[in-house]
Structures are given as structure tokens and as C-alpha cells.
Amino acid sequence: MTILLSTLNARYAHASLGLRYLLANMGELQPISRLCEFVIGAKTTEVVERLLAQQPRIVGFGVYIWNVEETTRVVAMLKRVAPEVTVVLGGPEVSHETAQQEIVRLADYVITGWGDVTFPRLCQAILHGPKPLMKIHAGEQPPLAELQLPYAQYTDEDIRHRTLYVEASRGCPFKCEFCLSALDKTAWPFPLEAFLAEMERLYQRGARLFKFVDRTFNLNVKTSLRIMQFFLDKIAAHPDDPVYAHFELVPDHLPEALKATIAQFPPGALQFEIGIQSFNPEVQAHVSRKQDNAKAAENIRWLVQHSHAHLHVDLIAGLPGEDIASFARGFDQLVGLGPHEIQFGILKRLRGTPIIRHTEPFGLVFDPYPPYSILATDRIDFASMQRLVRFARYWDLVANSGRFAHSLPVILGAQPFARFMALSDWLYANTDATHRIALDRLARLVTRWLHEEGGLDADAAQALVASDVAGQAPAPAVKAPARQQRHLAAS
């Protein structure tokens, strides 16, 4: 009577935290429960074959925005060839608007919201009766102190080769309407001493890369300081054995005590993901985002100038009420602050998020298929939105890759958005592609643009780009996913 806990991760390096929470909390069912992770792009027949090879009685799937289409195909095939296997779904993608989804129709049961204690309870009923009559089960949210922490479920293979996701808290007190965290009532902390003890055990097992998925890591500064001190102590004790930690920061909340601690981290040990999303106060009000823009800018500038932290800052295009000119002003302002990466995201309509209330007032048109990206608004037509999508892709290739560090300031000049949009339009006109552009070809294209459109002498353009290619500056150690797509801690 094997119970399989499965999902299709975005890539192998992503180890599912949600599945490990479920496994840790299976109780007396844990001896017959197994993890069975896959990566998107795997053949449906091979996924189903591997699942059935373990003769499962129950298969629980974690369903997310990035894997729902492929998981739907897996569930459909699984139910055709092995209808006796009970399929249970969970995760953010199936926690809302369940009646509209084909994958929900195919499955036997669905758990919405938290699954940590509800999934084991449902499995007990499936295996031992009485058989549950309802298909949809609302997940129970227990006190976090009652949950078994999942970190012992990371294998030695995970520690050696994969990103370890951890969380010191769940939930978020903010109500940004494009994010599923808007549905949370508050943020709930895990007991700190127990959490730090688990981090110590991971460290002793060889873990050196810790990615915190807390929505608001610096909300409770005393807790933030304790956790950061944990990593500083490891660095001080073993300066030749580097440790790397990634946190998400609220941009306008950086008190002096936290600054003093951040300043102690050496290069290569700390990364912050900072969600700005928009610098337009009217747009922020539309999506219920409360942010002191002046303070946020001041804090980003301080981090750039006085810390060694790698800064990954998010902007979202397509928010209600924002046109291209407004977005461009925010983009230029952010470039001027000097973060190491700007994540140029395109708005997505995550199921259940309150952003849907703006559909008619602001003419929001979303793609009906995952990842439900915005296609047009009353301020940005479809063709212009496609230009922004291409801008985002080329920005990743040229700017966020770190491979054109010398050329980028020249490309951007005094008007970063306008200049890079010109490069983006030119690249698309000359390649008709936004993916699979080899580095040597991209370097030649950037060289041509700098000379033909950017005003550089041909020899100067070639020398400038050559200095980048020769340096081969690496991309950051951890690529932070866009906030809208994360939800990694959901089970």
C-alpha cells in the first residue's frame, strides 16, 4: 500500500519543500510513503511508468502554475491505465477555482490550502475507511509548533546537488493583489530554536546553500538578526568553507541593527530578493501595495553602497493603471539605484488572487492558459505587451546573465528603458528569436547594435564586447524566481 508524493519540479535543482513537509507529517503512514519527483519536460509515459513501478495505492501530486499542464496529462494517463490508483491533488494551482479545472475533474480528491495534516488524514480514510464522500477537502491550518519540520527529508544527494528551500515563517501580512499571499491573514513564525536546530543539522550534513522562501523575512527584525547571526557564526568559524543564504526583504523596512548585521557578511554569502513591483503610487494603491518608495530607494542604495549582498529586485509590467511611460520611469529609477539584477516580470493572474477584480475597470486581458500572463490592458495594447515580453527575455540574456558587464552601461546610457527597448526591438527584427541564442552570436549582435544604432565606433564596440566575452562573468549562484511564481512552500 505505497503512498507516493510526487510533483514535476521546474528543474532538477529545485527540491520540493512542500512534498517534504507532507512526508515529515505522515505519522504512522510514513513507512509506506515515498517521494517521487520529476522535472517538467519528462515524457508522460515515462512518468506514469515510474510511478506504477512502485505499485502505489495513492499518488499525491503537488500542482503549481508551472507544471499544471504536464501534470494534467500525467493524471489523465494514470487514471486510464491504472484506474484503481487513487489520485489526490494539492498545491496553489488547485486550491482555487477548482470547478473550472480539467485536472480536478480527473482526480479522485483535492486538498485546498494547507495539506500538512489534512493529506495524512485523507490517506488514512482512503486506506482504512470510512471512504471519504467529498471530493474537495479544505486543508486544516495547524499551529506551526505542531508540525514536524521537513529538513531531515532532504537526502545527501539533495544536499550535494540541489537548492535547499527553508522557511522560518509562513504567510504574509501584506495584501498585494497579484500575489496569493494576499489571502493570508498574517505571517506565522515557526518556533525559532527548533528551526535553528534544524539548520544546524543541515549544516553539519554539508548544506551550504540555504534559500529562504519566507515572504517577509525582515518583518520581525529580532528573528532576522538571530538567523543572520547563525550564518555569520558559520562564516567566522570556517572562513574557507563558504555558506550562501538567500532572503526576501521588505524594501522599506531596514532598521540600523539589521544594516549593521548585513554589513558583516563577506562577498558571495548573501542574496536579497526585493519586490518593488512598481514605483507608481497610484498603481500601488490599485493593487493594495503599501510601500514607502523613498525609503525603499534609500535602502536599496544603502545595500548597494555599504554591503556585499547580491541584490535581485523585482518589477512587474502590466499592473492595472500603469502604462509603458510609467513603467519606464520606474525601470530607469531602479537602474539608477544599481542593483545587481532586475527581474522584469510580466503580470500573471494566479488563481484565487484579488487582481481579478480589476479586469473590467482596467481592461485586463489574460492568457487563458498557464502561466496566465497578461496580454493587454487599457493602457498597453497586445503588440506593446509583446514588446515588453521580449524586452524581459533579452534583459535576462544581456543584463541579468552578467555576461555583458562592461557593455551594459554603454547600452543603457542616460535613458535605460528607451535604449534597451531599442536594442530589444532590433534584436528581434534581426533574429526573430528570443530563445536559444548562443553567446557568441549574441555577442556579435550586441557589437553590431552598439556600432550601427548605439553610436560607437566599430573597433570600440568590438573591443568593448570582447572584454565581456573574454571575462565570461558568471550568472549569480542562485537564480531567484519571480515572486508571483514561487509558492514553493505550499503543499
The string of pLDDT tens digits covering residues 304-354 is: 999 999 999 999 999 999 999 999 999 999 999 999 999 999 999 999 999
Largest CA distance in the chain: 78
Burial pattern 283-295, b for ≥16 Cβ within 10 A else e, equals: bbebbebebebee
Helix (H) or strand (E) holding 73, with range, is helix 68-81
The CB density around residue 266, as the number of other CB atoms within 10 Å, is 12
Q: Is the dihedral of CA 168, 171, 174, 180 positive or negative?
A: positive
Backbone conformation region of residue 365, classed left if phi is above 0, alpha if psi is from -120 to 50, else beta: beta
Residues 454 and 411: beta-carbon distance below 8 Å? yes
Cα–Cα dist 95/114, whole Å:
9
Q: Please report the pLDDT score of residue 487 as a whole number.
A: 36
Query: DSSP 3-state assignment of 15?
Result: coil
Q: Which residues pair with 320 in a beta bridge?
A: none
Give the pLDDT confidence score for residue 286 in this predicted structure: 97
**pLDDT at site 491:** 33
In sequence order, which residues have a C-beta less than 8 Å from that of residue 133 and are 6 or more positions away? none
**What is the three-class DSSP state of 6?**
strand
Q: Which residue has the cell 488563481?
A: 351
Sign of the four-CA dihedral 386, 392, 395, 396: negative
Cα–Cα distance, 374 to 319 (Å, whole number): 9
Which tens digit of pLDDT belongs to each residue from 406-417?
A: 999 999 999 999
Cis? peptide before 130, omega within 30° of 0 = yes
Which of these, 154, 35, 8, 165, lies nearest to 91 by C-alpha position? 8
Confidence (pLDDT) at 476: 40
Whether the Cβ atoms of residue 287 and residue 314 lie closer than 8 Å to each other: no
Cα separation of 55 and 42, whole Å? 20
Phi, psi (deg, nearest 5) at residue 402: 75, 5
pLDDT of residue 469: 87
- All three cell numbers of 418: 528607451
Per the DSSP assignment, residues forming a β-bridge with 274 are 249, 313
Beta-carbon-side half-sphere exposure of residue 312 (alpha carbons within 13 Å): 22
Write down the pLDDT at residue 1.
73
Sheet holding 2-9, edge to edge: 33-39, 2-9, 56-62, 86-90, 109-112, 136-138
Q: Which residues of the chain fall below pLDDT 50?
A: 473-491
For position 237, what pLDDT does the model report? 96
How many Cα neighbours within 13 Å face the side chain of 388?
Answer: 27
Mapping DSSP to helix (H, G, I), strand (E, B) and coil, where does residue 226 land? Answer: helix
User: End-to-end alpha-carbon separation of the chain, Å?
Assistant: 22
Q: What pLDDT is recorded for position 261?
A: 97
pLDDT of residue 216: 84
Reading the block at residue 309, the C-alpha cell is: 549582498
